[in-house]
Structure 1
Amino acid sequence: MTQTLKLLGDKTRLTIIAILKHRYCCLCELNEVFDMSQPSISQHLRKLKDSGLIQEERRGRWVYYSLIPQSEVSPLIETLLEHVPDQEKNLRKIEKSQVTLHCDC
């Protein structure tokens, strides 16, 4: 639990988890939300994946990330996300961009 709290102490990783609670995303979709490079976002995703909080699924050229359902820390994540700002604005950015129609991730 300590490792999970430390990992989610980072605003970017916590926001990624909050977004993934609502939908799966590829790297280029998350890039629409954060003002940072794709390699930086990839590093955050790798840390979340290595810790067992998210999973990836390859679909053609794209790799999509989602929360791992029923992980041992799911109850902790659910509790934390109750105190995280609503992600509606970020979700709309992703939907509006339709970036997966033309990205190369």
Structure 2
Amino acid sequence: MNNKGIPTSDMAHTLKLLGDKTRLTIMGLLNVRECCVCEFVEIIKMSQPAISQHLRKLRDADLVKEKRKGQWIFYSINEEYSGYPLVKDILEYVPDSRIQLKELDEAGLRVCCD
């Protein structure tokens, strides 16, 4: 365990998960706002099943949480996760995703989730 109270095994697992470009991109988007799978599909240009697999890994590790809104499931960063301070520090180095999310809104592609 380090001085921030995060077990080394949790740190290693978190770093392994965030070492994947797609999962790091997802976390960067979630650092701006909650999103649903269809938004990730449009921004990352990857199939829905592939995105869902990445989200499952993040959810299983407790890095993200989900909330149902009607038929849609929205994902957000789990700030209660024991390794959240590490995640927060890492996300400071991820390029800002606001432009991608704004373009998604302007293209009317977020509407499918409302």
Under a length normalisation based on structure 1, what TM-score does the superposition of the two structures give? 0.90
Q: Which amino acid aligns with 1:16?
A: I
Match of 1:7 among 17, 40, 45: 17
- 1:29 is paired with a residue whose SS is helix
1:100 Cα deviation after fit: 4.1
Structure 1 runs of 4+ aligned residues shifted over 6 Å read none
- Structure whose alpha-carbon radius of gyration is higher: 2
- 2:31 is paired with a residue whose SS is helix
87-96 vs 29-38, greater mean Cα deviation: 87-96
Are residues 1:83 and 2:84 paired? no
- Structure 1, unpaired ranges of 5+: none
- Structure 2, unpaired ranges of 5+: 1-10
Indicate the residue corresponding to 1:71 in structure 2: 81
1:8 Cα deviation after fit: 0.3
Q: Which amino acid aligns with 2:25?
A: T
CA RMSD of aligned residues (A): 1.4
Mapped contact 2:35–2:74 kept (Cα < 8 A): yes
> RCO higher in 1 or 2 (8 Å CA, sep ≥ 6)?
1
Q: 1:67-105: CA deviations, max 9, x gaps? A: 1123211110111111111212222233223334336xx
- Return the alpha-carbon distance in structure 2 between the equivalents of residues 101 and 35 of structure 1: 18
